[in-house]
Chains A and B, each alone.
Chain A
């Protein structure tokens, strides 16, 4: 990328709201049903049927608005966005246009270098999802499945506040974390529950005017978002540096080729003819409802991370990792409660370390961890009371992960209890000193780094069970004398 250009990026994220039934009908929203078996008359746009708004979708939208500090519109309006497409049964999408339910708000994003910045949100509005066109070969035709039609969506629109692909990805991750944290969306990107459109433009560094933007549609992974934006920034700079002009258009990212391409077919003069949907009166949201939703809002990720720093004495980085999801934070706090407040760093190190690695290796979410919070706390308690060393603990953890029992059972069965009996350790140390007179002489002559050799020898003879601190202390004393 040339240094003279500044990218400007805004995202539109579509989050499917976690309701049981659709936004305007009583059909189920469950994923994966046989084609068109979850499309009722309303979803099919049958003649004569009418939409009736799902109260839960409204509550979930309010929940999001409160979580980002937005204002909740006391009165918002549903509008029709008119266009023809086979997966859009009514020939219009019910959405919100001039008066969305959530207005404003902001979110802090953290970058890899440890810095953070604030991204402002323009709005979030309720709308219905469309169905799917399947392009497999049906005698040269397309097949339409309308199961997804009418699934509630929250479209979350940011201001063009991001300046790099990394920032955009960080923002998308942050929204993803938040919607799952507050329980409004399952965040499943493979199933399309969470997807993103990116508006990208570039301008000469220092300029305050926005360049012409393109919209990259349907990015369904953080990596694709980042790759697509990187490609698009480069493409736009290339066009501009060659003296060309950017055409405002919709583009599609092709992950196989790692490039974006124009979707010309969607470009022919769309005029959506928005107007207020006469089937739906204005949506009024009372202060009472807002207060009710606010009362059920969990402690948010930032607040929780700050609390972990303040109360448990964790580092900011550790706390951020532990609050990646509400389930993880709950897990951590359950471990901490069981093992005792004095062992927060130990607990954090284990949850972010061994546990995270095991989950990652087996591609499991925290809710499917094979070692639950109580069990992990049982293991950490044995480290804390010096029954086993940290090194042995990793072996015990693997055994627990493999389902071999509790920490205590495994320690007993395998005889892993740490040797803390000084006289027993002294015997072993005497043996080592007696067996290695040459090294002892060298050490005593000033070759300090041989100390590790003696520790290793002791550990070898104790099968790793010698208490490391005690071994060190006794060795130093014996070697000095």
Chain B
């Protein structure tokens, strides 16, 4: 399956990746190759096969409702590109 540059731009927008014009073309070519590879699956007869979301055939394990975590703000904010007054700062969010 061949992807157009438009398709590539749409996916890049969903994935929040900035693409240059040349990159869009390169992605269109390489992703099309990858899709050709995975397109083999479309021909497989999977009628009646139960999809396997996970290798473990187990029920989810739950935890008790106990507060176990302490404040780690100062340590964590050392990794923050920009933090002030305890808040993570980002370019203005427009609603």
Contacts and interface: CB of A to CB of B under 8 A. Distances in A.
B66 interface: yes
B37 interface: no
Interface in B47-64: 53-54, 56, 58-64
B21 interface: no
Contacts of A164: none
A145 B87 contact: yes
B92 A135 contact: yes
Contact of A41 (B58, B66, B76): B76
B72 interface: yes
A58 interface: yes
B59 A140 contact: no
Contacts of A27: 67, 69
B16 interface: yes
Contacts of B13: 269
Given A281-B56, A282-B59, A144 B67 contact: no
A165 B14 CA distance: 36
Interface in A267-294: 269, 271, 273, 276, 278, 280-284
Contacts of A144: 87-90
Contacts of A38: 71
Interface string B76-95: 11000010111111111111
B46 interface: no
A41 B62 contact: no
B66 A21 contact: yes
Interface residues of B, number: 38
Given A26-B68, A41-B76, A34 B86 contact: yes
Given A55-B64, A146-B88, A281 B69 contact: no
Nearest to B16: A84
Most buried by A among B65, B69, B89: B65
A142 B62 contact: no
A386 interface: no
Contacts of A55: 62-65
A317 B92 CA distance: 51
Given A138-B84, A284-B59, 18 more contacts: A35-B73, A35-B87, A39-B73, A40-B70, A46-B76, A56-B64, A84-B16, A85-B93, A86-B88, A87-B93, A138-B87, A141-B89, A143-B84, A143-B87, A143-B89, A263-B95, A266-B95, A281-B61
29 contacts: A19-B65, A20-B65, A26-B63, A26-B67, A26-B69, A34-B86, A35-B73, A35-B85, A35-B87, A37-B73, A40-B70, A41-B69, A52-B61, A52-B63, A54-B64, A54-B65, A56-B64, A56-B65, A133-B93, A135-B93, A143-B89, A266-B95, A269-B10, A276-B53, A280-B60, A281-B54, A282-B60, A283-B59, A284-B60
